[in-house]
């Protein structure tokens, strides 16, 4: 009988992000309290001085200004010591010409990684490639997990933040591949009617061209 894989616990969407204090390349941070009023992308990588992780950090940094325009702070994390982080960041700047401007948490004892479910025993002792998107109220809004062998798509992470912000600001849902959806392009979805009266009103609005609908349960609009 095979040995049972130890179960891990992860934070739950819609709940307050677990709090912790950590040493980073930019000093001590208290998360999420130090980031009140800001969106945060907290992401883990398996190890410093590894090829895939290096490409990811370059990719995040290349989009740093785009994230900042959205009010987003980036925070990296691995179970390496802070000295390793500092030297790796220096190496990237000296050899690849890119300055990493966001902090990297040194979780050398793995406590934060365990707290956030970043270590998956069947994938080894290093952190997997986890992404946590946290809103200005410290609420966890999205989680992404990638295996160590596959690098992340930073444009998708950027798109996800934009989509969450648009959804919050306009009380709408966001279609697949937005803003290039195959059915409705860059339009957004109106929440489905929850009663007969609203459903009938939706169809009337569609007839009057006040709203676009495939049916009462699938209406959409241009922002």
Q: Which residues are catalytic?
A: 53
What are the strands, taking DSSP E only, across the chain? 20-24, 27-31, 39-44, 72-78, 104-106, 129-134, 140-146, 188-190, 212-215, 218-221
DSSP code of residue 211: S
Q: How far apart are the C-alpha atoms of 51 and 89, rounded to whole Å?
A: 13
Taking a C-beta distance cutoff of 8 angstroms, is the pair 10, 117 a contact? Answer: yes
Side-chain half-sphere exposure of 84, counting CA atoms within 13 A: 14
């Amino acid at each position: 009988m095979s040995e049972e894989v130890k179960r891990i616990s992860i934070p739950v969407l819609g709940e307050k992000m677990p709090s912790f204090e950590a040493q980073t390349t930019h000093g001590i941070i208290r998360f999420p309290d130090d980031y009140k009023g800001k969106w945060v992308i907290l992401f883990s990588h398996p190890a410093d001085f590894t090829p895939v992780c290096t490409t990811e950090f370059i990719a995040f940094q290349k989009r740093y200004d785009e994230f900042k325009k959205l009010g987003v702070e980036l925070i990296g994390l691995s179970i390496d010591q802070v000295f390793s982080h500092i030297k790796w960041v220096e190496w990237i700047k000296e050899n690849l010409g890119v300055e990493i401007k966001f902090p990297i948490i040194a979780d050398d004892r793995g406590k934060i990684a365990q707290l956030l479910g970043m270590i998956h025993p069947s994938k080894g002792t290093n952190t997997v490639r986890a992404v946590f998107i946290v809103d200005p109220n410290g609420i966890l809004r999205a989680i992404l997990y990638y295996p160590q062998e596959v690098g992340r798509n930073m444009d998708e992470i950027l798109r996800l933040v934009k989509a969450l912000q648009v959804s919050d600001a306009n009380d709408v849902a966001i279609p697949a591949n937005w803003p290039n959806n195959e059915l409705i392009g860059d339009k957004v979805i109106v929440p489905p009617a929850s009663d007969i009266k609203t459903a009938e009103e939706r169809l009337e609005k569609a007839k009057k061209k006040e709203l676009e609908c495939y049916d009462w349960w699938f209406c959409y609009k241009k922002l």
